[in-house]
Amino acid sequence: MVASSKMRRAVNGVLATRPYSTLAWEMILDVAKKTKVKLHPLLLPREKIKRVAVILVTSNRGLCGSFNQQAIKLAVDYIKKLKSSGGVAVDCLSLGSKGARTLLKLGYTVVADFPKADILNEVADIRFLSKMVTSDYLAEKYDRIVIVYTDFISVLRQIPRVKQLLPLESVADEMLGQVANHENMKTLKHKNQETGTEYLFEPNAKTILNELLPRLIEVQIYQAMLESNAAEHSARMAAMRNASDAASDMIDDLTLSYNQTRQAAITTEIAEIASGKAALE
């Protein structure tokens, strides 16, 4: 019942913010494509990828099925793929204690472990993380920043995804570049390719981009957190339901075994009384 209540709140939150987040990301890609990349360092891709930051979003507690395992497996596979390319160092940032503990056990570098709320109330809850990764990218500490989260598709289906946050560029893979439900990803991507929007920056492009781009990155991280929270509570509700059903089945089986054992004992006692009476006669 608790998981169901949290799930409803989380799903309402993710559905309410998804259109805004999708349009914001669409604008990011359009601005990155139509604006001179030299106008802002967040639009400037690095020639060589030397160090990557991977933000992993998991839960603080267990009892949520395979929710954490799937996200961690995707993050580990992504890290292994980066390291196999040669010369790429990877730092991990964790939101959720389960991910941090597992990554440390596997021997990966966890540079930060941030507290994660079960229900996000406002974007300010993740602003510290957004400012940190943005400033680290601007300082050229990292050449790429991605976030691994679980996309909420439905109460019964959640899909872990890797999303590139920085540098801002139009990513061809449908697994990246969109925080939206998977049915309309291709439609949105096609729409991005066809848009004819032109941008006029006042007072100038540099001033607007300095304010706009970090805020839009913040929105994407916030939406990814909402998606992950909705997926987590849905997975936990399903796990609790399965546990309750399994407990009910176990109670039924134990009750049947108890009744069979009790009936056998009664039958044995009756047989012994009957045998004793027959012997006396």
Residue by residue, pLDDT tens for the chain (281 residues) are 777 777 788 888 888 888 888 888 777 777 767 766 566 788 777 888 889 999 999 998 888 888 899 999 999 999 999 888 777 899 999 998 899 999 999 999 899 888 887 777 778 788 888 899 999 998 989 999 999 999 888 888 889 999 888 887 654 344 433 444 444 444 444 454 555 667 777 887 778 788 888 888 888 898 888 898 888 888 888 888 888 888 888 999 999 999 999 999 999 888 888 888 888 87
The residues, any chain, with a CB within 8 Å of residue 174's CB and separated by 6 or more, are: 182, 185, 186, 189
CA 111 vs. chain centroid, Å, equals 19
Residue type, 250: M
Domain ranges for the chain, please list them: 2-237
Question: By the 8 A CB rule, do 112 and 132 touch?
Answer: yes
**Predicted pLDDT at 37:** 59
List Cα–Cα distances, 84 to 80, 88, 141, in angstroms.
6, 8, 21
CA atoms of 278 and 281, how far apart (whole Å): 5
Quickly list DSSP for 191-245: HHHH-------SS-HHHHHHHHHHHHHHHHHHHHHHHHHHHHHHHHHHHHHHHHH
Could you read off the pLDDT of 148-170 as tens digits, one per residue?
A: 999 888 888 889 999 888 887 65
Quickly list DSSP for 76-138: HHHHHHHHHTSS-EEEEEEESHHHHHHHHHTT--EEEEE---SS--SGGGGHHHHHHHHHHHH
Could you read off the pLDDT of 46-94 as tens digits, one per residue?
A: 888 889 999 999 998 888 888 899 999 999 999 999 888 777 899 999 9
CA atoms of 53 and 143, how far apart (whole Å): 8
- CATH number for the domain formed by residue range(s) 2-237: 3.40.1380.10
Q: What is the pTM of this model?
A: 0.77
The residues, any chain, with a CB within 8 Å of residue 238's CB and separated by 6 or more, are: 65, 155, 156
Residue type, 152: F
Q: Looking up tokens 């006042």, which residue turns up?
A: 202
Q: How many CB atoms lie within 10 A of CB 73?
A: 14
Which class for 127: exposed (0-12), middle (13-18), buried (19 or more C-beta within 10 A)? middle
CA atoms of 175 and 223, how far apart (whole Å): 15
Residue type, 70: Q
**Of 115, 112, 63, nearest in space to 232 by CA:** 63
Structure tokens given for 211: 């304010």
